[in-house]
Structures are given as C-alpha cells and as structure tokens.
Amino acid sequence: MIRGFLVRLGEGALTLLVIVSLSFFMQRLAPGGPFDHERELPPETRRALEAEWGLDRPLGEQFLGYLGGIFRLPPDLKRSMTRPDFGVTELIAPRLAVSLSLGLVVLLFSLVLGIGLGALAAARRNGFLDHAVMALALLGLALPNFVIGPLLKWVFAIELGWLPESRWVSPASMVLPVLATSALYVAIIARMVRSGLVAALGQDFVRAARARGFSERRVLLVHALPAALAPVIAWLGPAAAGLAVGSVVIERVFDIPGLGNTLIDAAFNRDYTMVMGAVIVYSAILIALNLLADLLLLRVDPRIGERR
C-alpha cells in the first residue's frame, strides 16, 4: 500500500510538471501581452518593464527561471504583473481560502443531503418519496448553476432582501452560493446512493444481515450503505475537481473574491505570473484530492490495492 501511494505521488508530481510546462508555453503563444494597451506605452517604459519581468530573455531561459522559483522551499511564485505591489502567493492565499471554504462547505452539505435523500429514496423505493426525490434530483442535474445562481439571488437577495446579494462579508454571504453550487452535487450523490443501495439490498450479505434479524434501518445504514458509498468516494476526487472549476461560475455570479474569479481576470489581462500561480494551486489541489480519493477507496475496498 505504501508503494502504491508513492507511485501515485510520483505520478501526481509528474502531472503537475506537465501542467506547469503546458500552461507556461500556451499562454505565451496567445497573442498580446501584459503591456499591450489600447494606449501604447512609450518604448522606453516598455523596455524597462520587459527587462524588469525578464520578458526580454529567451522563452526557454524564462521557463527554467520560473521552474527554479517554484521547485524551491518556500516556492517563489513571483509578483503579479498587473498588481506588482503584491506577490502572487500573497494575492492567491486569501482567495484560495475563500474558494476552498466555499468548496468544502458545498461538498459537506452535498454529501449529507445527497446521502440522506438517496437513502430515503432507496428505503421507500418506487414510493411517492422516491419519485419526489428523484424528480428533484433530475431538476438539480438539468439546471446549470449559472441559472440557479442568478435566480436565487433575484428572489432572496433583491426581491425579499433576506440575504446579502454578493460579496463576502459574513457567513450569510455563503448561503446562496452554497445552495446554487450544491444543487448539482446533491442530485448526483442522491442518485448514486439510491442506485448503489438498491443494488446492495439485493446482495447476499444484505440478505444474510436480514436473516440475522437486524432491523431494516440497521441493514440499510450499517450493512448496505458502505458498499453503496464506494462509487461515491471514487467519484469524490474528480468531483472536487468539478467543484473547483464549477465555483468559477458561482464566484463570478456572486462576485466572491475567490481564486476562480482571479484566474479569469489574470488570463484576460495576460498577467502571466498570476495565471501560473493560480494554475499551479488549482492543479496541486486537484491532484491531491484525487490522490486522497484513491487512498480512501483503498481503505474502503482493499481489493483495489491488491490488484495494483
């Protein structure tokens, strides 16, 4: 198992390196640079800026210099090109905290609600509750968050005035973004849990548990649920990825000072160092989450480890 973990870790590091290299060169291929404005800079100023940021050196040299900066402890992500008063790390840290807290709350909320609803539907399968939950889930799947977000905002913030409409000033600011983001995840989890449970309930070990006289609730929650959760856990890693990416939209809608918003602006403004910083942080988180999901899966279902 340790070996498996180390292999995955190595793979993760390699993936990160590939992502860093690709993003570095891809954004340089895009026409236009951080100092191209409708109003042209005086050539002396442009030269000085390019020298300051090393943009006058060959691309390969710039790349090696950048790599040298990030594979160092602590990593040096340079200053932001459009907000040069601040280091990229300094600009990213508070935004990352915002994005991650939003993502974590969404994940937790979706897990609790999704598993609960899924279990409920499975317990009452083909009953009214089952149909109601699955219909709701279908709605959650069908409605994209850029529709749900503005809709919630309009009803609860602007018309009713119950909740803050945007920005990030108190935990109440979190409610609408969390609801808007969670809809999809609750729906997916509920459907997965329901079908997992329905399948598990027909299995021998569940029949054995029933035969031993355990209550139906205990059979469902203690015996069948762990088996039904395996696919959910396998899905969690990539889902966290989706969450990170998905929250870009929600951050835009609710003007949350998160990482996604920052990445979009940086890309439009050709803030090379900021884009790289955000990409590195995003990828590191995604890779780490996938790694974590693999480990969890290994614990839940040891056969996976043996097969490796």
Partner 1 sequence: MKVPGPVCRAAVVAVLVVLCACGFTGDVSRHGDRVLVMNNMAEPGHLDPGLVTAAEDQRIALALFEGLTVPDPQTLEPRPGVAESWEVSPDGRRYRFQLRATTWSDGVPLVAADFRHAWRRVLTPPSSDPRRQFADQRHYIASGSAELLYVIAGAQAWHQGRLDDFDQVGIRVLGDRLLEVELERPTPWFLELTSFPTFAPVPRAVVEGLGRDWTRIDHLVGNGPFRPVQRRLGDLLRVERNPRYWDRDAVGLDAIVYLSTDQIDTAIDQYLAGESDWVRSFNPKKVRAWRADPELSRQLNAPPFLATYFYRFNLRRPEFRDPRLRRALALAVDREAITRFVTGLGELPALGIVPPYVATDWGGAQPRGLAYDPARARALLAEAGFPGGRGLAPLTIAFNTDVKNRAIAEAIQEMWQRELGIEVRLENREKRVHVAREKDGDYLISRGSWIADFSDPVTFLDFLRAGRASNRTGWRNDDYERLLDQAADCLDRARRLELLRAAEEILCVEDPPILPIFHYNTAYLLRPGKFEGLHANPRNVHPPKFIRMRDR
Q: Which parts of this chain interact with partner 1 (CB under 8 A)?
A: 30-33, 36-49, 51-52, 82-86, 91, 94-95, 97-98, 100-102, 104-105, 107-108, 153, 157-158, 161, 164-171, 173, 221-222, 225-226, 229, 233, 252-255, 257, 261-262, 265, 268-270, 296, 299-300
Q: What whole-number distance in Å separates Cα of residue 24 and Cα of residue 16?
A: 12
User: Do 256 and 250 touch, CB atoms closer than 8 A?
Assistant: yes
Q: Which is nearer to partner 1, 91 or 190 (by Cβ)?
A: 91
Residue 209 Cβ, how far from partner 1 at the closest point, in Å? Answer: 14
Nearest residue (CB) to partner 1, 92 versus 134:
92
Minimum Å gap between C-beta 108 and partner 1 is: 6
DSSP 40: P
Token pair, residue 136, equals 């709701």
Residue number, 115 or 280, with CB nearest to partner 1: 115
- Distance from chain centroid for Cα 178: 13
Q: Please confirm whether the linkage preceding 43 is cis (ω < 30° from 0).
A: no
CA-to-CA distance for 206 and 238, rounded, in angstroms?
Answer: 30
What SS3 class is residue 87? Answer: strand
Whichever of 100 and 284 has its CB closer to partner 1, that residue is 100
The distance of closest approach from Cβ of residue 135 to partner 1 in the complex, given in angstroms and rounded to an integer, is 28
Task: Name which of 11 and 40 has its Cβ closer to partner 1.
Answer: 40
What is the closest distance, in whole angstroms, from the C-beta atom of residue 88 to partner 1 in the complex? 12
Identify the CA nearest to 1 among candidates 305, 307, 243: 305
CB of residue 265 vs partner 1: minimum separation in angstroms?
7
Closest by alpha carbon to 125, among 225, 67, 194? Answer: 194
In DSSP terms, 87 is beta-bridged to 79
Comparison of 106 and 280: residue with beta carbon closer to partner 1: 106
Please give the Cα distance from 258 to 262 (Å, whole number): 7
Polymer length in residues for the chain: 308
Cβ closest to partner 1, residue 18 vs residue 51: 51
Copy the structure tokens of residue 48: 């000085």
CB of 262 to partner 1, least distance (A): 7
What is the four-CA torsion angle of 168, 184, 278, 67, rounded to 10 degrees?
Answer: 150
Taking the complex as a whole, how short is the minimal distance between the CB of residue 14 and partner 1, in angstroms? 27
What is the distance between the alpha carbons of residues 284 and 21, in angstroms, rounded to a whole number?
14
Nearer to partner 1 among residue 226 and residue 242 (C-beta):
226
Q: Kindly tell me the burial class for residue 14, based on how many C-beta atoms sit within 10 Å of its own C-beta (0-12, 13-18, 19 or more).
A: exposed
Assign 147 to helix, strand or coil: helix
